[in-house]
Amino acid sequence: MVSFGSIKPQMGVSTTPTLMGQMPDLEGKVVIVTGGVSGLGRGICRQFLLKNARVYMADESQDHATVAIAEIAMETDGKYAQLLHLDLTDLGSVNESAERFLKKETSLHMLFCIADTVHSTKEKYTAQGYDIQFGANTLGHFLFIRKLYSLLISSTAAKCPTRVMWASSSVHARCTTRFNYEALKDTHARSQKFITPQTLYESSKFAIVQLGLHMSRMTFKEDGVVIAILDQGIQALNSSKISKIKFVKKLSRPSEGGTFATYLYAATHASDEPFELQGKYLTQPSRIGETS
């Protein structure tokens, strides 16, 4: 059993969210959104297209993404996102997706890691043998960020850092004393009764906060990359199985406007201190907390 200190967000001074209509024009900016086919991710793709950014919708299903891209184009007067195939449950696919993007683009300004995998069984594993929720939500995104990090560095401008926004959840706080790495693979530890789909999901979100905080602390201002952890809100989950999972039903449902505001604030926030959001945990609606 691995033990970590508390990472419950300490709520700070309320900030003013960047409303959709107040977002700056993003002509020339390149954005990747994982989980952009539906839910919150789709809304983010749409909004950034409306602001003239070049948007890549990263998803494992070409069919679903093609439909979503066409529908968004109808809603945005012909603005099309680009499809980037990405299967977060296979680290080989993550590597290939990043390499494919690096061959197409010479800059990357915003990376939204919000794809979310929720399963109601413990019998699902990634291609590398990790729990499907931990593997997709945490490991897959972590590798994707690392593969694209050099491009994020080279895309920064004066007082305008590039940004990585990684979705966690308030349920991460339940895992601070029971994170069991051995249970994240097919081992005896996984067969214990207290290891459930719920605790595994909480573990994936806990690990996101830990890794995001670690990366933010290891990132130098000279790199010009801001890494923030965002509370995704329950409606951000893009799984048809959610309604069948009891622990999800117990979670509160923040307003979509609040969730949107948090993501848009993190992505376009301008300040005299451009690294104000570095290593911060943002909750609804756009309040800054600390991960400690």
Residue among 168, 170, 203, 216 flagged as catalytic: 168
What are the angstrom distances between the C-alpha of 2 and each of 14, 169, 291? Answer: 34, 20, 18
Cα(202)–Cα(206) distance, rounded to whole angstroms? 6
Residue among 56, 130, 149, 201 flagged as catalytic: 201
Rounded (10°) angle between helices 197-218 and 141-154? 20
Cα(224)–Cα(38) distance, rounded to whole angstroms? 30
Give catalytic status of residue 205 as yes or no. Answer: yes
Residue among 169, 205, 280, 281 flagged as catalytic: 205
Peptide bond just before 254 cis, omega within 30 deg: no
Cβ-in-10-Å burial (0-12, 13-18, 19+) of 203 comes to buried
Give catalytic status of residue 201 as yes or no. Answer: yes
Give catalytic status of residue 263 as yes or no. Answer: no
Determine contact, residues 262/208, Cβ cutoff 8 Å. Answer: no
Rounded (10°) angle between helices 91-104 and 141-154? 20
Catalytic positions are 168, 201, 205
